[in-house]
Amino acid sequence: MSDAQTPFQTLQDIDRLCRSLAAGLPSQQAVVQTWSGIGFRMGERFFVAPMGEVGEVLHEPRHTLLPGVKNWVKGVANVRGRLLPVMDLCGFFGSELSPLRKKRRVLVVDHQEVFAGLTVDEVFGMQHFPVDTFSEQLPPLEASIAPFIHGVFQREQPWLVFSPHALAQNPGFLDVAY
């Protein structure tokens, strides 16, 4: 009887040898669940809007003033052939926009029948927060803004979760005429 191996046994030997010499997989790291949104600033407060509630972010567009509207309605702008009502979000909540026009941005909201641009002091782009830093326990807020805040993420400073969709459904926001 010969000591010759079958081809299958040879493959098994090669497999054992390869497995014994192979480097191990890297250690598994715990995956941190994150929540992402668009970060922006109004006054001294930092906000984050859910990704699905902001269609785009624009530089402050040129706009045409409208007569007979509330002072927080800046006017209407032509954005790629579509008329965009431009609203001063700070003004809607009773504060003033920053005088630094270069940092101002417009968050475009397109929800149900509402297509509007919300002018804010500054936009910080996408922000990612570990979900375990979220709290529904809100810091003290003005009554005018509280209905639109759905929670807070904690970092160096609190980031309030602002809902543009909730704003777009608010009768006070929809009533722009005097």
For the stretch 58-102, pLDDT in tens is 999 999 999 999 999 999 999 999 999 999 999 999 999 888 889
CB count in 10 Å sphere of residue 156: 6
What percent of the chain clears pLDDT 70, i.e. is strictly above it? Answer: 98
Better-scored residue on pLDDT, 46 or 3: 46
| Burial of residue 47 (number of CB atoms within 10 Å: 0-12, 13-18, 19+) | buried
φ, ψ for residue 63, nearest 5 deg: -140, 160
Cα 24 to its chain centre, rounded Å, is 39
- Write out the two tokens for 128: 């990612």
Q: How confident is the model at residue 21 (pLDDT cuts 50, 70, 90)?
A: confident
Least confident span in 27-36, 73-82, 116-125, 130-139: 27-36
Instruction: Assess whether pLDDT exceeds 90 at residue 136.
Output: yes
Looking at residue 99, its pLDDT comes to 86
Give 34-174's CATH code, choosing from 2.40.10.120, 3.40.50.2000, 2.60.40.10, 2.40.50.180.
2.40.50.180
**What residues does each domain of the chain span?**
34-174
pLDDT, tens digit, 9 for 90 and up, residues 114-126 = 999 999 999 999 9
Q: How confident is the model at residue 2 (pLDDT cuts 50, 70, 90)?
A: low
